[in-house]
Amino acid sequence: MTNPHGEPFSIWLVFLMGLGLNLTPCVYPMLSVTISLFSPKKDVPGGRLASFLKACVYVLGIAVMYSTLGVAAALTGEMFGSLLQSTVVLVGLAVLLFVLALSMFGIYTFQMPAWLLNRLANQKQANFLGIFVSGLCVGIFAAPCIGPPVIALLTYVSTLGDPVFGFRLFFIMSLGLGSPYLLLATFSGWMKKLPKSGVWLVWIEHAFGIILLALALFYLLSAFQPRWISHLPIFSFLAGGIYLGFLDRTGHLSKSFTQFKHASGIAAICVSIGLFMALPRQSLAWEVYDPSQLASAQANHQPVILDFYADWCIPCHELDRYTYSDENVMQALSSFKKLKIDLTRMGSPESVEMVERFNLVGVPTVIFLDAAGKEVPETRISGFVTPEELLEIISHIPAAESSAS
């Protein structure tokens, strides 16, 4: 009934991220070397089919490796969530992401072992097992460029604690990363039409660096100024557009590439303006949870909505921005007592008691209590839901039917 992660953090965005990782300086120059593993000998019948099947095995290796990482990250979500209640851990994550971002700007680099590159380059043909193992190891080959964005995505998955979603997210990312190999292995002639490596790869790497800096800032704000988190995407697109479009000197001697950078920068700035204009002008009037308020609502036979959240929780902010600000949702919940329970620093006896009472496994969690103070069956929400999905859930609460209609 609920969509646990009905995200603005779209599956398609993750696919595009995987596709975009092919354009980093660590991966793009290796495309031709990798495709040579799949290329059949001349005049071999069924050569194109054989190349396609080998590419499928290679992509399967990529998918197995990253999907396993996604599941592992999600399974540690509860432990990760408890760690994120510490300011020290939040600051540590911010520092880690900042250091990873520096590698995107060329402040320092990791070099793959020469023997590993030579072995891959000299292996003109490989059997299916060898190709599968090569797919498993692609993260090692391209770690300097792929590593930082993947670590950031692992951090996001860890906050959700959903192994199925973690598997799906990284499987989709793997398909994005591997899809060029499927096409180029099947139609090897397309390799000659690809643009040569150049400064544009460095510029794309800088764009990934901006993303990592935004994530670092997210954790810093979570630790010290959580009320500014909703404005982070606006600032990120604005700062990224100005830097990548006008301040970054990469490829400044090329007139056409400079024009492309300017256009990209202007587009990012326009997105920033659009996000600012789309900020909710009104939202639900929440009250901070207190046991006496819950008792008062029960005495008055008033239904209650309990929103369990944390400052570091991305879907929690998505709920506030995209769902609770919807006019129909606000009208449907007008008769409810609206209480927020902050689990960012879960130290108070009241918050511990509520977590144990409702057997919570993560945030965000939204729970509805009827007029008698009992949880309404099959209405609990774990993760992000759209306004339409929330209205559908509210319609199943008898005391709220008139408000939701």
Determine the pLDDT at residue 405.
Answer: 45
- Identify which of 333, 330, 316, 222 has the alpha carbon closest to the alpha carbon of residue 281: 330
Quick one: pLDDT at residue 347?
A: 65
Q: For residue 367, give the H/E element and its range.
A: strand 365-369
How does pLDDT run across 332-382, given as a tens digit for each residue? 999 999 999 998 876 667 778 888 899 887 788 999 999 888 999 999 998
Residues lower than pLDDT 50 in the chain:
1-6, 8-9, 401-405
- Cα separation, 206 vs 211, in Å, equals 9
Are 62 and 181 in contact by the 8 Å Cβ rule? The answer is no
Using CA atoms, how far residue 13 sits from 3, 44, 119, 176, 254, in Å, is: 18, 39, 34, 10, 30
Sequence spans of domains, the chain: 11-202, 287-404
pLDDT score for 381: 94
Question: What does the pLDDT read at residue 112?
Answer: 53
Backbone angles phi, psi at 288, to 5 degrees: -70, 135
pLDDT score for 403: 43
pLDDT at 4: 44
Residue 159 near residue 1, CB atoms below 8 Å: no
Average pLDDT, the chain: 82
- The rounded distance, in Å, linking the Cα atoms of 199 and 184 is 23
Q: What token pair was written down for 81?
A: 């969530």
Q: CATH class for domain 287-404?
A: alpha beta
| Residue 211, pLDDT score | 87
